[in-house]
A and B are shown apart, each in its own frame.
Chain A
């Protein structure tokens, strides 16, 4: 079996979304898009009250944090990334939590890895190689990430190249102009072509919500991308001035719920950027559980794009085990 095929995650692993979950899309329904209403103040009240309504402590907290680890797209998206840097990250993705801590939490027999590793196209092959045998998929940011303003043909070619290098997931960025000018047909076409270019690779649509500004824009863009076949919708590139927030997340997960009610299809959600504390991720889980349900607490429907979150979770887990607050240098670097 060629190496590239081996490096593809096995369909039997829980982290790998099955094809049954793929979103085939639906015709663009402009009337539905125009009917979208989102009230910002109400969204803020809902998310502000949530942590107080759903405190998660003790064993449940440890369990939720470990689950969060399995949902992390461990990410490096920097201009100074190198092969060595990416290999180090991949090693961390495969063993994100110290085995002694897992054992102490009674989870020594569980296979805890991150949900994916997320890199630029240049490092897809490197990551695929580094993760060989781990079952961890490689996600590539694509389509002229982060601004998404490269020539359209270049963007499609970029997707195809990453898929050819073994990326199982493609995180595309939408053309914000289409949203800001209300050109929903253009957004829908663009998204459909991205999805087609992905082939079997799952596609996550990055909306860059910090650029879209209004929650109404966020909701409309979410629905259009889902109608065009996005498997996941994702908040941000991490490069906008405002990344994932709870009100934006509430808006997007409600759009997912609406899309499911229309089509029966479950689309995944990925907040990215801005989720850096263990405490934050508990609130995100509560949001998913309350608004969408238990199924959205697994990596096939929920991912977190993060680079520093894992380190905070590791420290919290050690504190839970030992009762003493931890330090970063007590956990292997990623």
Chain B
């Protein structure tokens, strides 16, 4: 080709970024890397190669992290963390700021190393990943500066184990490291085995920027090394981004350990196109949604839902657009897409596409030349994909979108939410009423209105349902790297076993409390009841012994009461006040019951009732005041951070404080719009069964509060296993905490346990925002504007 032939053809020519600096950097390590522990690189050990996906050529030899390596890294982190946390916030802010600056000063080198190692286009690393990473460090330098004033009741967690994926190696590193370090933690991070280089480069830069030794440790390796980190006793928190399958294992592995956990997992995010959308913009949105980073994006808009009336038009435009895409090697600056990560991934993608086509999906694929040698897969849309097909429900993690149609906004929402995942959603409509209604109703942690895959350090990122829990970025993300100081001194819980009756004392009046399900008192399924023994050894009455079917029924009733979440906050506040008022009217009776069950003195019993009334008022007060914030990301628009109810939440109430413990856990959940299945204190359940009448006279809608009495551990297991329970709070023995955390892995429900250590329920710290945060999940709705 020469000028004249280009003049005639007006073709593009490959335009390659210079990689000599990146090659020289690799050569300076002789293309062999050890781990970065306690401020220095270890000697390279046994390991594996990392290759260029675009060419299949080996870039470097990487060490496989062993138990010894992980031990050293955790020890180094532990040693460094105290002094790091003890630094004034301003000092830590300066270090974070220095990290941001050194990323910017080396932006081109990082961008090239990243593109080589991952296969993604240099445009994306240069224009998106690396600038966002620098922004993350700047933003979190600010949180370090403000930590004392903004989080006075919280302390750093300690040593954080972080495991990140290969799709955004450097960006995910910054999302993990910046908040952890800013808030006074030390880090042991494992980059993905396929893409370790930018993390190793960052280690070198962090050292140059003056980060103290041991505060940041990088251990390379595959899944086994990750397991060593996640399972390490010296780690206080595990933050993981990756597949739902591995997330589940980490949940099980860390159960009962007391480790804080953040999981950012898979997705099958809906991309909803209404008939009043700017259709060309929506088509371009698909390019950004599923052909960004070869579709290897957890929040990729991989499920296109188009309103039926415009579906033909939209698909025609999309089919034309796909032909204009260009694919090439990662350093070429004229491309839209690079190679997928490796041959296995390509084979997996191809297999899912082939099977979908065999099941009747219509294949729309770019007819393009692909470079030799790399693992390329063309941009693909599967139209009219059968809803039953695996490609329609499972994450493909490649450049493949599936497309379906809907008729009405209701149906759009139904289809959008009909997924086990709940990471993101993208909504295309020029009608603000329509767009915001869907934004409010879609089950996702991130909602993009007329945009997709936009991110910012100041706006929390994270999912709901099987897409995980926890947020990264913004104020909401900070709490995932902090712990409430109030809980630090919580003692190990005293075991309270139900007393045995002294002799046999038949009752003249049947005082068997039933269960409370769907607003009605219901007999237990098993038709068993158990005596409740008072402090004096006398039988106070009987309660039903709930079983798994009672749990099933209670969850169904709670699921059916979905309208509670949609009730106005004012309305929920009124009902909580009303509950408090009605409890107060029967204060003497409830105090007497507490005395009879637990043997406390009269004044203490009265105090517990009074505290319970006050707590109901507290959450009535919070009900219309627990608000979101408006983030101001660097764009013309807003990001609305809305705390939303989680859904159906199980509560194993603490054995102590039979009334106050119940109110303290159930009230924040109800106040924020959740529906609850509560299991009262096994030894002292009658305060809660007495509460039925309070609930019945306080206008609490049926199904919002359901009570199943019985064995806390057995019922906790049933709730933990139940796949239609969205969260589970369990306060009891260490065994209970471990059990529910382990069993929650099925649908990755969020858990809140005290692992056998007891809150002081009478303390002011046993109410308020710590509990409200646990009762809600933040949804960030991005709304760019402009006429």
Chain A residues engaging chain B, CB cutoff 8 angstroms: 37-46, 49, 52-60, 62-64, 66-67, 105-107, 110, 213-216, 254, 285, 289-290, 294, 297
Contacts and interface: CB of A to CB of B under 8 A. Distances in A.
B126 interface: yes
A41 B451 contact: yes
Most buried by B among A42, A45, A56, A289: A42
Contacts of B787: 40, 213-216
Interface in B620-636: 635-636
Interface of A is mostly: helix
Given A52-B126, A63-B10, A46 B281 contact: yes
Given A52-B333, A55-B15, A55-B333, A45 B451 contact: yes
Contacts of A289: 10
A53 B328 CA distance: 11
B334 A42 contact: no
B284 interface: yes
Contact of B15 (A37, A43, A44, A58): A58
Interface string B556-599: 00000000000000000000000000000000000000000000
A38 B430 CA distance: 8
Contacts of A67: 7, 10
B7 A66 contact: yes
Interface string B4-40: 1111001111010000000000000000000000000
B786 interface: yes
B437 interface: no
Nearest to A289: B10
Interface in B324-380: 324, 326, 333-336
A58 B12 CA distance: 10
B701 interface: no
B224 interface: no
B433 interface: no
Nearest to B332: A55
A46 to B, nearest CB: 5
24 contacts: A39-B277, A39-B278, A40-B785, A42-B284, A42-B784, A44-B786, A45-B288, A46-B284, A52-B333, A53-B326, A56-B334, A58-B13, A59-B3, A60-B1, A60-B13, A66-B7, A106-B3, A106-B4, A107-B7, A110-B4, A215-B787, A254-B280, A289-B10, A290-B324
A202 B15 CA distance: 38
Most buried by B among A66, A213, A285: A66
Contacts of B2: 59, 106
Given A37-B276, A41-B450, A66-B7, A52 B636 contact: no
* 5 nearest CB pairs, A to B: A63-B6, A40-B786, A42-B281, A55-B333, A41-B784
B301 to A, nearest CB: 13
Contact of A41 (B123, B276, B288, B785): B785
Interface size on B, as a range, is 35 or more
A105 B3 contact: yes
B767 to A, nearest CB: 42
Contact of A39 (B13, B126, B281, B635): B281
Given A39-B278, A107-B3, A56 B15 contact: yes
A201 B787 CA distance: 35
A41 to B, nearest CB: 4
A43 B334 CA distance: 20
Contact of B786 (A41, A46, A294): A41
Contacts of B450: 39, 41-42
Interface in B671-715: none
B387 to A, nearest CB: 28
A57 B15 contact: yes
Given A41-B451, A53-B123, A53-B336, A60 B281 contact: no
B3 A285 contact: no
Contact of B11 (A57, A60, A216, A290): A60
Contacts of A38: 278, 281
B306 to A, nearest CB: 15
B518 interface: no
B636 A41 contact: yes
Interface string B35-54: 00000000000000000000
